[in-house]
Structure 1
Amino acid sequence: MAEVPVPEPGPGQVRVRVAASVVHPVDLMIRSGRFPAPLPTGLPYTPGWDAAGTVDAVGPSVAGFTIGDEVIGFSPWLQTTVGAHAEYVVLDAAWLTSAPAGVPATAAATLPTNGLAAAQALDLLALPAGSTVLVTGAAGQVGGFVLALARAAGLHATGLAGAGDREFVESLGAAYLSRSDTPTGTFDAVIDLAVVGPALLDLVRDGGGYVAASPPLRPEPVRGIRTFALEVLPDGARLAELVKLVDSGDIPLRVADVYPFTDAAAAHERLAQGGHRGGVVLVP
């Protein structure tokens, strides 16, 4: 923990008093020096992608938000060094949207990063209704959102997950494949969140689509297959669409554990242990 000045919002920005944020696997990579891309210079900086909280101050030229509004949003902190693992965070208003109604901040905080990752993965593929998609890591946070969004879009999803996750995968309308078995079948697209690797291209039809979990993992196209890589971008409007699906019950929000900021190291350790099904959440 460190004391820093309370940030002030500039034009087009709002300050959020953070009620909850989330620790992600990429945070473990960054903290341990295993992140495969350049990091911001000039330590210390504050990490944290997700913000759920209350608008505390509004900068000039902001429309749509007032002090006291409950909001959620995504902070691209690797570019801005403005992370959400803090009591206050200043974000562009365009990166925020109203929080889901009646949902605790600890649950609402699990939506921005992982929900946008799932939505943007499907947006890259642009699959028509009725298409088939294989999702690896289907019981993880992003994977669960992909299954929910695929169902809402009229896609036929198949989820590759552990034996204990069968009920969850099938509850989201997806077919289940055990990760202990060699995946088989032919699909219009694959979203490889578990980093099974380019061998999955063999399961994609000619001219289909493939989404890798990060840019370094994107394979070269073969047989006319379009290949993409996830790079999550802040998008308040897209996030608002996801909130509507939370409000309607189409997207479940899952929380595994909640830690105070003072126990952030323990939260990192819990995430590193694996085996959790839901977000590992930090609260001030």
Structure 2
Amino acid sequence: MRAVIVRSFGGPEVLEIAEVPTPVPGPGQVRIRVTAAALNPADLYTRSGGLAEAGLMPVRDLIGIGWDVAGVVDETGPGTTGFAPGDEVIGLSDRLDVPLGTHADFVVLDATSIAPAPQGISPIEASTLPLNALTAAQSLDHLALEPGRTLLVTGAAGAVGGFAVELAAAQGIRVVATAAAADEPLVRKLGAEFFVPRGARLGEAVRTLVPGGVDAAIDAAVLGAEALDAVRSQGAFVALVGGGEPRPLRGIRVSNTWIRADGTRLARLATLAESGALTLRVAETYPLDRSAAAHRRLGEGGLRGRVVLVP
């Protein structure tokens, strides 16, 4: 089978479409025939060596690429329950030290890392759900905000930010969103009550809308101290990138969301997507053998939706 791998870190040119043995599922695992696999910034950092430099993964001779997947169960390992060949599923590969990722013809995942695919939604769209929606959901879990509380979401027009706005608004949380000025109609449609255009002095702008500052922030745009300034004293702040968390000034509780696969939670998110409560956005699609072009496009920025690889 084919798989996207890197043997050395660098730009998109280091990506290789290699012929490798088809993986075999072990106990409690399933093998998925990949129908679509979203491309995320984490994949760019894996390829470039950024995650290795940060100490998040070891340097190996061969490293697989890809976190998100939508596909069909092809084979189950010994003792695996809950899924059978032919089942349409979505899933998340959350381990960094793996020789094969989801950007391949087949991938093996733990059965606890997958969920039934959302019905009535294309696999291309469904593949954009796992990493980004789970990151947003787990970030909100860290904050544990009650209905009526206020939340700042930076990068609200992005994949994680958009899901965070929708999930928070559905919980009765009042959302202040920041993004490019042209994205205001989008983020308000997603559920934001307030909007601050990118480039504004964020702390002052937010405090004009919410006197004293918001109760919490999810910093999807990695603004750090600038976003922290918009949070009230003794509030809460969630960073999404290792090293992107600011100092916990003014008694603010600062934490980082280290994403983990969770098939049960992913199933609930898939149900929300089925009902239209979560908006799945695809920017562009590429065949697997054009992975380098897909990486270049994502690296250019300006997308409102995910790039998806289609084997």
Give the deviation of 1:14 after TM superposition: 0.4
- Residue 120 of structure 2 corresponds to which residue in structure 1? 102
Give distance in 1, aligned partners of 2:308 and 2:226.
Answer: 34
- 1:26 corresponds to 2:45: no
The offset of 1:26, in angstroms, is: 2.2
Contact 1:129 1:155 (8 Å CA) reproduced: yes
Give the equivalent residue in structure 2 for 1:205. Answer: 232
Q: Deviations over 1:48-93 (max 9, x none)?
A: 0001000000111211101100000100130344410111000000
Are the aligned partners of 1:47 and 1:77 in contact in 2 as well (CA < 8 Å)? no
Aligned to 1:112: 130
Counterparts of 2:50 and 2:260, CA distance in 1: 21
Alpha-carbon displacement from aligned partner over 1:18-46 (angstroms, at most 9, x marks no partner): 11111111222222233342333332221
Query: Are 1:220 and 2:237 matched, yes or no?
Result: no
Displacement of 1:98 in angstroms is 0.3
Q: Distance in 2 between matches of 1:17 and 1:111?
A: 18
Do the aligned partners of 1:96 and 1:235 also contact (CA within 8 Å) in 2? yes
Corresponding residue number in structure 1 for 2:94: 76
Q: Secondary structure of the equivalent of 1:211?
A: strand
Aligned to 1:11: 27
Query: 2-side partners of 1:283 and 1:18: how far apart?
Result: 8
The 8 Å contact of residues 48 and 77 in structure 1, kept in 2 or not, is answered as no
- What is the match of residue 261 of structure 1? 288
Distance 1:231 1:213 in 2: 7
- CA distance in 2 between counterparts of 1:215 and 1:28 reads 15
Please name the residue that 2:142 is paired with: 124
Cα distance in 2 for partners of 1:34, 1:90 equals 25
1:146-225 aligned at under 5 Å gives the runs 146-174=164-192, 175-183=194-202, 184=205, 185=207, 186-225=213-252
Identical positions, percent: 50
Runs of 4+ in 1 over 4 A off after TM superposition: none
Residues in 2 aligned to 1:70 and 1:256: alpha-carbon distance in whole angstroms:
23
Letter matched to residue 56 of structure 1: D
| Counterpart among 54, 60, 70 of residue 37 in structure 1 | 54
Is residue 111 of structure 2 the alignment partner of residue 93 of structure 1? Answer: yes
Structure 1 unaligned runs (5+)? none
Q: Deviations over 1:158-189 (max 9, x none)?
A: 11000111111000120211012112211000
SS at the partner of 1:256?
strand
Q: Give RMSD over aligned pairs.
A: 1.3
What displacement does 1:222 show? 2.7
Q: What CA deviation, in whole Å up to 9, does each residue of 1:174-232 have, x standing for no partner? A: 02110121122110001111111123222211221001122312223233211111211
Residue in structure 1 matched with residue 3 of structure 2 by the alignment: none
Structure 2 runs not aligned, ≥5 long: 1-16, 208-212
> Cα gap change, 1:81/1:128 in structure 2, threshold over 3 Å: closer, same or farther?
farther
Q: How far apart, in 2, do the equivalents of 1:149 and 1:81 lie?
A: 34
